[in-house]
Structure 1
């Protein structure tokens, strides 16, 4: 096994977590905060947009089972990487599209993926995804972990997360862990 970590921001971490938890090869997904200047930030502080942190997920995966290029493609296709500091109704720098890489290989593959998607004109607008080295990662408060699975009947889950998950499942069925969705 070739266990790797990458940290991804694509809007609300509840949405991102719900998608990456279901992938074959993913060992764990931890919601949290990174990219800012505030030490030990809370959710309430990050929500102000003044800490510099983004809502992110730290994905631990087996690169022998899920290669980085596949993981990055799923990342780009499950959010809008062309909107700056916004995903749907979630607005602010904490919701920015970002890849916080853990090594140079991840940086190179992220930039190459952006170039390929741009060259192939997959999106109508330019990709604004930040590609930057990971800084201190702060795990989110416990109630944020496994949020969608534990709160699927709440309105945000039903109206925002579930449609994203449905779209993801339709496009990436072959990448799902058996028994999910």
Structure 2
């Protein structure tokens, strides 16, 4: 469950949010950095927070911050998501590159294993081995007086029709 939650958080923050120009929001763990496209002041409602073009804070709950530029333009940032200290941003190109590299390496390994384990001889029929000489068998068993001998003319020749008697 923890892996699924971490993967969901990574996918949520995979792309950086872009507004006009260079206005953006980036996440690193539980730290959020908001960037205003021009120099301006950051506000939380009517409270002035900072005079820089970038504002960094620890994310805990959904918040809305405003950036008022020197030209009088207002940029509003609403930040909502899941953040944690152990999380990191997943770059889409890095992820695609890792998957592609994994497929290529797996293919190369399969080719190497196939070539190393390939048969070196042809598929010709193997030479029949000499069968060992059979040792002389035991004498036929003495028929039991309670059983009648089988008639070879009426006896079935199926797989399970033979009777095996082991003596001794």
Q: Same fold (TM over 0.5)?
A: no
Larger radius of gyration: 2
- RCO comparison, higher one (Cα < 8 Å, 6+): 1
Considering fraction of residues, name the structure with more helix: 1
Relative to the length of structure 1, the TM-score reads 0.20
